[in-house]
Amino acid sequence: MIVVHHLNNSRSQRVLWLLEELELPYEIKRYQRDSKTMLAPAALREVHPLGKSPVLSDGELTLAESGAIIEYLVERHGQGRLVPPPGTPERLRYTYWLHFAEGSAMPPLVMKLVFDRIAKGPMPFFVRPVARAIAGRVKSGFIEPNIARQLDYMEAELGRSTWFAGAEFSAADIQMSFPVEAAAARGGLDAKRPRLMEYLGRIHAREPYRRALERGGEFSILT
Ligand SMILES: N[C@@H](CCC(=O)N[C@@H](CS)C(=O)NCC(=O)O)C(=O)O
């Protein structure tokens, strides 16, 4: 039986969604973030040493990293669904976006969250102006321009095809959904990039996406 080690409000929502798209049976083992630190509980480190979500168990296998999990599920259980045929330009784009999501898109979005928290977090009053100034410089000089450049690029790519890998919806769209959701939540993505906003709308309208939300429970973007 496939078991998803699922942390509330997290990237593991994508794995539930993929399993719903593939109509595979699965169980959810739930973990709750600490309400103050928002970190995963120590119990998740008993499943995988890094204690991050998602983690997938399938028989003897334990696998972390959402991209690796998605590749595994599609290859092992997908029967050719949600992946373009090998050797096609779409397959290469599929691979590219599958990696881009966590390798390029997420790091500046996570950095933004961290630096926003630094600026707002508790600290002695005399440190606050300095901390805020440093956080502001890093955000305006590095983080936000990177996010904006990536969003412009994604917006342009969605002008080439309906979905990230081509004309067909693929598992790369599931992987890409998280950075696009995160950008809409806190990365400045809005109606000025209509293709990305429309893409989000199309994702949210999918039945398997909705079923995964129902099974996963609360979902809002954190890290
Ligand atoms: N690149 C990893 C990132 C995993 C990750 O950072 N997961 C977050 C949830 S979205 C997490 O477990 N955060 C809680 C913590 O760090 O304690 C993946 O895509 O699986």
**What is the structure's pLDDT at 125?**
87
Rounded to the nearest integer, the mean pLDDT of the chain is: 95
Instruction: Answer whether residue 154 shows pLDDT above 60.
Output: yes
**What is the structure's pLDDT at 128?**
86
Does the beta carbon of 223 lie inside 6 Å of ligand 1?
A: yes
Nearest residue (by CA) to ligand 1, atom 9, is 10
Q: Which atom of ligand 1 is nearest to the CA of 9?
A: 10
**What is the structure's pLDDT at 219?**
77
Q: Which atom of ligand 1 is nearest to the CA of 10?
A: 10
Instruction: Answer whether residue 218 shows pLDDT above 80.
Output: no
**What is the structure's pLDDT at 210?**
96
**pLDDT digit string, tens, across residues 5-23:** 999 999 999 999 999 999 9
Phi, psi at 63, each rounded to 5°:
-135, 130
Does the beta carbon of 170 lie inside 6 Å of ligand 1?
A: no
Cα 31 to ligand 1 centroid, rounded to whole Å: 12
Give the separation between CA 164 and CA 161, rounded to whole angstroms.
7
Neighbours of 78 (CB within 10 A): 18
**What is the structure's pLDDT at 120?**
83
Does the beta carbon of 40 lie inside 6 Å of ligand 1?
A: yes
Cβ neighbours of residue 35 under 8 Å, at least 6 residues apart?
none
Does the beta carbon of 13 lie inside 6 Å of ligand 1?
A: no
**pLDDT digit string, tens, across residues 124-148:** 888 888 888 998 999 999 999 999 9
Give me the helix-helix angle, 66-77 and 12-21, nearest 10°.
10
Q: Which atom of ligand 1 is nearest to the CA of 53?
A: 12
Does the beta carbon of 5 lie inside 6 Å of ligand 1?
A: no
Rg of the chain in Å (alpha carbons): 18
**What is the structure's pLDDT at 127?**
86
**pLDDT digit string, tens, across residues 159-183:** 999 999 999 999 999 999 999 999 9
Q: Quick check: helix, strand or coil at residue 89?
A: helix
Task: Among 53, 114, 174, say which to mutate for ligand 1: greatest number of ligand atoms within 8 Å of CB.
Answer: 53
Cα 52 to ligand 1 centroid, rounded to whole Å: 4
